[in-house]
Structure 1
Amino acid sequence: MQEAYQKINANDDQHRTLVAQQSLNTLIAAAPNMNDLIQFHRNHKFFLQSKDERLYRELGYIVGNHENKSLHEIIAQYQSCFHIIIKKKTTLKQSVNAVQHMAGFLKNDLTKAEKTQLHQHIEEVAQQRDAMSAILRTLKRYARKYNNTYLLNQTLLNLCYQEVKQHKR
């Protein structure tokens, strides 16, 4: 069971990484402004957090542009750090942490029964009894139900294999 779980999640991680890289390439090709980069970073928050919390925060510092660098410099620095972070293998612990943070954005909306069910589902993922993709589907269902646009815009919830096929053409 554990081997099958790891294989499914490794495939999901590879897929998410490919789509994230394609998303960054699309952003850069569109000659983004600073607001576009900020929105990109915001929408990739939980994906990046599931890869490496420290580097995710470093990317946030880059986007914050506290040193008043040019947009060209910021994008180059962001792209370089982004490539480093997406090459990292997502661990179960990091993924569960990201999912728990996502669940926090629903805490005021969920019923007591939904919260209990969601936390049990997260625990099943943490114990490797269920795949990460299953909890992401559950989170997306709740985000839709409660119209949580912040979560609905998260790439981690919106990745699908069809996107990869379209970009490969």
Structure 2
Amino acid sequence: MQTLDASAEQDGRIPVGISSCLLGEEVRYNGGHKRHRYVEQVLGRYFRYLPFCPEVAIGMGVPRPPIRLVGDPDAPQARQVNDPSRDFSDALRAYGREQAANLDGQISGYILKAKSPSCGMERVKVYDVKGMPTGQGRGLYAEALMARHPCLPVEEEGRLNDPNLRDNFIERVFVYDRWRRLQAEGLDAGSLVQFHTQHKFLILAHDQQAYRELGRLVAGAGKGDIQALAEQYLSQLMQALSKHASRRDHANVLMHLAGFFKKQLDGGDRQELEDSIQAYRRGEQPLLVPLTLLRHHLRRHPEAYVAGQHYLDPFPRELGSGER
């Protein structure tokens, strides 16, 4: 069993599970690795990784004959390519369930190796008994992990090359980590309300309907089972944040935030801010431009409610593309 040690919490980095080969560990079937330098060297400054290789963990060895998914794409089996009688399905699923249980409350995200019959998050090729592709499925270890932790931010290393997908994943990891720490400290009605208040504009940018529904949900805090309410809140929150926030959505939030400064700013500053937001909406400049202008006005005219919004700084700026 691999768990998070005390130093992982003390150094301030966010605990994140990861496929071992992405960190350069030579655990692949051919004795190689798939080191991902951005994941290791950039995200690694903020994420403390817990590496796992399910195929090695169940005793398959390095190097080893490769395996692939075979049969029904909805319930495939993991079999050895050159000897289909060798079936590793039960072992991989059991290890996935075991580690998923061990990681309860321990991690705030997971980065998986794409296309792997054990770790692939999606679109893993499934073959028939004659070796012909018949569909797509999910790696058996990944399947068990995601079934146990449906709200956990999970992504594949290949998809992190897309700036929008990368920003969205990082954003969700930071939100989930704040939630995980809140749960560890002891959740109550007051802390839930505060958490929601600090994330309101972030939610609004992703899903206006969820913004309204979560507001109504939080309004009922203190009237029933707080843990049951918290589970429902987290589920709806992470589902909302997984949706793409368009330029129009962001511009709507930016205009809301600009409204907090309408009395403090003179006509020229107000027009400059609105022009910047509209230029962003039209795709003429990145989100970073109006956000930087808003932060500038916030420093000059402190506003506690706005300053508490994670929308302005959802994660360290050096991790983002500037296009979230």
* Fold conserved between structures, TM > 0.5: yes
Cα 1:82/1:60, change in 2 over 3 Å: same
Report the counterpart of residue 140 of structure 1 in structure 2: 295
Report the counterpart of residue 260 of structure 2 in structure 1: 105
Cα 1:8/1:117, change in 2 over 3 Å: farther
Where does structure 1 differ by over 6 angstroms across 4 or more consecutive aligned residues?
none
Which blocks of at least 5 consecutive residues in structure 2 are unaligned? 1-161, 320-324
Report the counterpart of residue 220 of structure 2 in structure 1: 65
One-letter amino acid of the counterpart of residue 41, structure 1: H
Report the counterpart of residue 82 of structure 1 in structure 2: 237
Query: Which of 1 and 2 has greater Rg?
Result: 2
The CA RMSD over aligned residues, in Å, is: 2.1
TM norm structure 2: 0.46
One-letter amino acid of the counterpart of residue 194, structure 2: Q
Q: Distance in 2 between matches of 1:159 and 1:67?
A: 28
Structure 1 residue 11, shift from structure 2 partner: 4.3
Report the counterpart of residue 121 of structure 1 in structure 2: 276
Q: Distance in 1 between matches of 2:224 and 2:296?
A: 40
Q: Tell me the number of residue pairs that the alignment of Structure 1 and Structure 2 aligns.
A: 158
Structure 1 residue 93, shift from structure 2 partner: 1.1
Report the counterpart of residue 15 of structure 1 in structure 2: 170
Structure having the higher strand fraction is 2
TM norm structure 1: 0.84
Cα 1:11/1:96, change in 2 over 3 Å: farther
Cα 1:152/1:105, change in 2 over 3 Å: same
Which blocks of at least 5 consecutive residues in structure 1 are unaligned? 1-6, 165-169
Structure 1 residue 66, shift from structure 2 partner: 7.4
Report the counterpart of residue 56 of structure 1 in structure 2: 211
Bigger RCO (CA 8 Å, 6+ sep): 1
Q: Which moved more, 1:35-44 or 1:20-29?
A: 20-29
One-letter amino acid of the counterpart of residue 61, structure 1: R
Q: Distance in 2 between matches of 1:152 and 1:123?
A: 22
One-letter amino acid of the counterpart of residue 98, structure 1: V
Question: Does the 8 Å CA contact 2:295/2:312 hold for their aligned counterparts?
Answer: yes
- 5 Å-filtered alignment, 1:15-54, equals 15-54=170-209
Q: Distance in 2 between matches of 1:66 and 1:14?
A: 28
SS at match of 2:261: coil
One-letter amino acid of the counterpart of residue 86, structure 1: L
Q: Distance in 2 between matches of 1:159 and 1:137?
A: 13
Question: Does the 8 Å CA contact 2:291/2:312 hold for their aligned counterparts?
Answer: yes
One-letter amino acid of the counterpart of residue 68, structure 1: K
Structure having the higher helix fraction is 1
